[in-house]
Amino acid sequence: MNEMALKIYLMRHGETNHNIKSSDDDDQPKEEPLNQTGIMQAERLANRIKNIKFDKLFSSDFTRAKQTAEIISRRTGLPIIEDKRLREYQHGRVKPSSEKWIEEYMRLLNSGMSKYDIRPFGGENIWDLIKRLKSFLKELEKENGVIAIVAHSGANSVLINLSQRREKDEFIDIKQDNSCINILEFSEEKWKIICINDSSHSDELKPKKRLYENQKEIKEIAKKYVLEELGLVAKEIYLCGDILYDQFGFYDRPYKKYEGSTVETYVVPNDNFDILQWEMSLIKKISSIKNNVIKYEIGKIEINNKIHKINAILVENSHEIKTETERIK
């Protein structure tokens, strides 16, 4: 085997109108096409990788992925190999995290039905997704050379988790921007992550941000919310990011399902902090598999009818913080 037998560029498709919605409650139709921004993102992605000598180009057969792959194909000259195993997770008519489905899931589980056989209404379960992507990954490991793959946010996240030999209960949510690149190498029976979620080629397509006039007032609103949510579990709390530099604002169109700036915080938890109990009460955990940073979405504040998310990164002490901050507790 060569020292580096296989290198993959695992990419997400460009933006669709569904992607800019603030909710993930509904499955995205498999025929959903790229919007104009998505086409431009795919063009910039293709331009970035056009000089790489790829050996193969795989793509999900969903329209948004195929369109992205077609743009890459025109730049690289590679034929597209469609593979249904790269499809996005299809949860059916009801989101698995919804109260309605959780109630039904528990009823079926308590009736003696195996978790592997329980599926959301009209959809597939997480085990179906893992099974088909694990099958693709195993076949991929037999390849050599440099391979391009166009898939989806959830599918990419599962593939990366599987590459690191994580079991389902250990999966972490890996952020995937539209048209992003993840680079992984496979050698000596192990996958090595080179980069995750690199979408710098599309930075110029970000929506314009307009700053609020009442920056000090917004900071006080954010402080109050953060202290109410984290005050009892934290020794120290620090603000950072846009809100620190009076750069808090809103976008002229939704961006990555955000309406504007995010309130970013670092938190040093109390000694008796129960992280498992705390995680159960949160909206979302956002993790970076490459640098072991775990970011938590702890809530939202509304400014001038715009929703802004609040994130927190847990650290053992303030020395771990590598950016400018303002301590609020």
pLDDT in tens, 276-318: 777 766 656 665 555 666 788 888 999 999 999 999 999 999 9
74 & 216 share domain:
no
Specify if 1 maps to a domain.
Answer: no
| Band of pLDDT at residue 28, cut at 50, 70 and 90 | confident
CA 137, 124, 309, 319 dihedral sign is negative
52 and 175, same domain (yes or no): yes
The answer as to whether 197 is a domain residue is yes
State which of 179, 204, 229 marks the end of a domain.
204
* pTM of the predicted protein model: 0.78
Q: Are residues 34 and 128 in the same domain?
A: yes
The stretch 21-29 carries a mean pLDDT of 64
In angstroms, the Cα distances linking 315 to 193, 224, 275 are 23, 21, 12
**Are 198 and 275 members of one domain?**
no
Task: Choose the final residue of a domain: 178, 204, 230.
Answer: 204
Q: Give the pLDDT confidence of 80-123 residue by residue, as tens digits.
A: 999 999 999 887 666 666 677 777 778 877 888 777 777 776 67
Specify the CATH number for the domain of residue 74: 3.40.50.1240
46 & 131 share domain:
yes
Same domain for 143 and 53? yes
What's the pLDDT tens digit per position in 39-59? 999 999 999 999 999 999 999
Are 248 and 295 in the same domain? yes
Using alpha carbons, select from 7, 239, 292 the residue that is nearest to residue 140. 7
> Is the separation of the CB atoms in 67 and 16 below 8 Å?
no
